[in-house]
Chains A and B, each alone.
Chain A
Amino acid sequence: MEEDKKYYTISVYTENNIGLVNRISTIFLKRHVNLLSMTASESEIEDVYRFTILVKMTQEKVQKIVGQIEKQIEVIRAFYHTDEETISQETALYKVKSELLFDEPQIQNIIKRSGASIVTVNKKFFVISKTGRRIETEALHSALKPYGVLQFTRSGRIAVTKEAMNISEVLKDFDDID
């Protein structure tokens, strides 16, 4: 089974509702599935919100879970996509001692090569930001580790899909039936 598991990005379009995070996460909890990340934001449509959830599981299971998410009253539509079907990004922040910038010339090369940017520098520390795919933020983390990383954090995945979502049409469809 393990080899059938893949990363899937689940995109959930919803009405704004306070309890919805709980309602969606409980569906994963019931099936003992770990959420690798979950991000909520506005979507391209006014008053419609979008959850982006990253999971690793079999297609059969993700399909059932998405069906059960979609069934929730305030969920407009839910989709799942493989990595190949999405364009996704994560942002990582790395806090490093400032003296390393001067003592370890390699650090500057690492930053340059990785395409990361420096967010802030002061006498004590500086903060690097790297946006990209998981593999890229992880590579930078590994490169910096030997020099000492004071703090590391990474955001959840955000993703857009290559195929159209057509949420406006889905909403129109809801309006039509009533």
Chain B
Amino acid sequence: MSKKTRITGAEAVIRCLLEEGVDLIYGYPGGAIMPVYDELYKYQDKLTHILTRHEQGATHAAQGYARTSGKVGVAIATSGPGATNLVTGIADAQIDSTPMVCITGQVASHLLGSDAFQETDIIGISTPVTKWNIQVTKAEDIPAVMAKAFYIARSGRPGPVLVDITKDAQFSEFDFSYEKCKGVRSYKAIPKTEPQSLKDAAALINEAKKPMIVWGQGIILGEAEKEFKSFVEKTGIPSAWTILGVSALETAHPLNIGMVGMHGNYGPNKLTNECDLLIAIGMRFDDRVTGNLETYAKQAKVIHFEIDPAEISKNVYADVAVMGSVKTTLADILPFVDKKSHDSWLEEFYAFDKIEQEKVIQEELYPSKEGISMGEVIRNINEGTKGDAVIVTDVGQHQMMAIRYAKFVKSKSNVTSGGLGTMGFALPAAIGAKMGAPNRQVIAVIGDGGYQMTIQELGTIFQNKTGVKIVILNNEFLGMVRQWQELFFENRYASTEMTNPDFVKIAEGYHIPANRVTERANLADAVKTMLETDGPYFLEVCVEKENNVFPMIPTGASVSDIRLS
């Protein structure tokens, strides 16, 4: 690295990234960010820039990278449309607590507020969807701002930060020095744990007859998988997960009783309203998890392990709130909890699972109908990967099927858009996921609708030879919307049927090896070939057009009113 200290703001941006340990960023150049790109050219041996085909792709790729690597994802774009195109990814990262730093160019400071070419108030626009954002108009402010940006993005409950840098600040020179941010006066990343809360929680846990755990992504973000497993195994408590929590505890663990929520498993949803103690760990009681709050776990005491004070009693009243990082609090509570097993209570979950197996799962994984089901595609993938793969999903029916049926053996193995439900997320996110975990098999499972929202990122995959496997579950419908139309809108299929292009030809146009499966007989081999092919691969599976995802809790219904058909 250059030893000179008098550098431009643009070079300072790069030097700050290197100081923060960043070696990979995603972005798209344009007028107001060109000085930074010029420096990227000079620093290309130290900092890799991946050119996505759309700025939204850069944010999702940065998210995917963050989710599999545990590091901060970085996306960079120009002013105006470049900046506004980042907004969906930023909102997605905000609601799913993904650490990300976005850098945008801005028109020169003397033009601010004048409706200059490609000027947009990205600070105003991004405020509701960022953990923090700031505009920089002076080069000398860049190091401190960047240090603060990374600190805020990764600490506490992580989230996206946007740094908007005017073009004159990028051009002007100053004396560079860098100091990492160790704290921000008005921001407490990790709240203090009240020792009494641990004792109160332990007392409730020790006396509970029918306790149940619901864990979320907090376990993964807090890297508390080990502490969590020790806690679950010592207390013997049946444990269910939210969509973003999946893979924190292996699928096959006997105390892993499945997913809660709208398309979750039968047992954990039903028994949420039977348990006497609900232990929420690193989750936020999203409405897709709770259904109708008026009838959600009213009989149970609630313990909430949480890092964000604003989540306590936001949706569900917490009798005991254990504030802090779950990595610490779960370790600290362990000596206070009794070693126990809850065999007959656990049997109740298994009994519900038996019903779900018979009424839903068996037919989904081994269909008796002629058409291919989404579930059997996932089953074939499981058989090929033995659960050791990163599954990236988009949003919709295929997402629910993938999450429900994929087997996981290690953490950080699922990347999905949970809170925002962003169609188009998966393809670019898979690029980042693969780069964040280059030695792992990364499989993007995508519907034919969402795929076409960011399909241009095939160009990024082709250019960088990114070894992601793309599986399109093609039902020629916006399947989840169609399912709702069937169930709640008397089959009026308004604008959900799609006439699709030849996806195989499109992939081949990008020189990505591609295959299409239309019959069950060819499915296993096709999946096998895909997994064995080096580099990227595209597999389209034409699935049954009008299958539904069950179980299902209709919007506004109680978790105990979960339907099997």
CA distance A64 to B284 in the complex (A): 14
Contact at A70–B310, with CB atoms within 8 Å? yes
Which of A32-40, A72-80, A92-100, A101-109 lies at the binding interface?
Answer: A72-80
User: Residue B152 at the A interface, CB < 8 A?
Assistant: yes
Contact at B314–A73, with CB atoms within 8 Å? no
User: Residue A23 at the B interface, CB < 8 A?
Assistant: yes
CA distance A174 to B186 in the complex (A): 7
Min C-beta distance of A26 to chain B, whole Å: 4
CA distance A67 to B186 in the complex (A): 14
**With A19-B133, A26-B127 in contact, do A71 and B310 touch (Cβ < 8 Å)?**
yes
CA distance A64 to B313 in the complex (A): 8
Question: Per-residue CB proximity of B185-207 to A under 8 Å, as 1/0?
Answer: 11110101000000000000000
Contact at A70–B183, with CB atoms within 8 Å? no
Q: For residues 171 through 195 of chain B, which have their beta carbon under 8 Å from a beta carbon of chain A?
A: 182-188, 190, 192
Q: For residues 1 through 56 of chain A, which have their beta carbon under 8 Å from a beta carbon of chain B?
A: 14-15, 18-19, 22-23, 26, 29-30
User: Residue B134 at the A interface, CB < 8 A?
Assistant: yes
**With A19-B123, A71-B308 in contact, do A30 and B128 touch (Cβ < 8 Å)?**
yes
Contact at A22–B127, with CB atoms within 8 Å? yes
Question: Per-residue CB proximity of B238-278 to A under 8 Å, as 1/0?
Answer: 00000000000000000000000000000000000000000
User: Residue A171 at the B interface, CB < 8 A?
Assistant: yes
Interface size class of A (residues with CB under 8 A): 20 to 34
Chain A residues closer than 8 Å to B188, beta-carbon distance: 174, 177
CA distance A19 to B131 in the complex (A): 12
Contact at B123–A73, with CB atoms within 8 Å? no
Chain B residues closer than 8 Å to A71, beta-carbon distance: 308-310
User: Residue B113 at the A interface, CB < 8 A?
Assistant: no
Contact at A67–B185, with CB atoms within 8 Å? no
Chain B residues closer than 8 Å to A142, beta-carbon distance: none
CA distance A75 to B187 in the complex (A): 7
Contact at B152–A68, with CB atoms within 8 Å? no
CA distance A20 to B23 in the complex (A): 32
Contact at A171–B185, with CB atoms within 8 Å? yes
User: Residue B296 at the A interface, CB < 8 A?
Assistant: no
**With A73-B132, A73-B152 in contact, do A174 and B310 touch (Cβ < 8 Å)?**
no
User: Residue B124 at the A interface, CB < 8 A?
Assistant: yes
**With A19-B133, A19-B134, A70-B310 in contact, do A75 and B127 touch (Cβ < 8 Å)?**
no
Which of B133, B183, B308, B310 has the most chain A CB atoms closer than 10 A to its own CB?
B310
Residue among A64, A70, A73 making CB contact with B131, cutoff 8 Å: A73
User: Residue A175 at the B interface, CB < 8 A?
Assistant: yes
Q: For residues 102 through 158 of chain A, which have their beta carbon under 8 Å from a beta carbon of chain B?
A: none
CA distance A2 to B309 in the complex (A): 28
Residue among B134, B152, B182, B309 making CB contact with A178, cutoff 8 Å: B182
CA distance A15 to B134 in the complex (A): 14
Contact at A67–B309, with CB atoms within 8 Å? yes
28 contacts between A and B (CB under 8 A): A14-B186, A15-B185, A18-B135, A19-B124, A19-B127, A19-B135, A26-B127, A29-B128, A30-B128, A64-B310, A67-B310, A70-B309, A70-B310, A71-B309, A71-B310, A73-B132, A73-B187, A74-B184, A75-B186, A76-B186, A174-B185, A174-B186, A174-B187, A174-B188, A175-B185, A177-B183, A178-B182, A178-B183
| B residues whose Cβ falls under 8 Å from a Cβ of A | 123-124, 127-128, 131-135, 152, 182-188, 190, 192, 308-310, 312, 314
Closest 4 pairs between A and B when the two form their complex, measured CB to CB: A178-B183, A67-B310, A76-B186, A26-B128
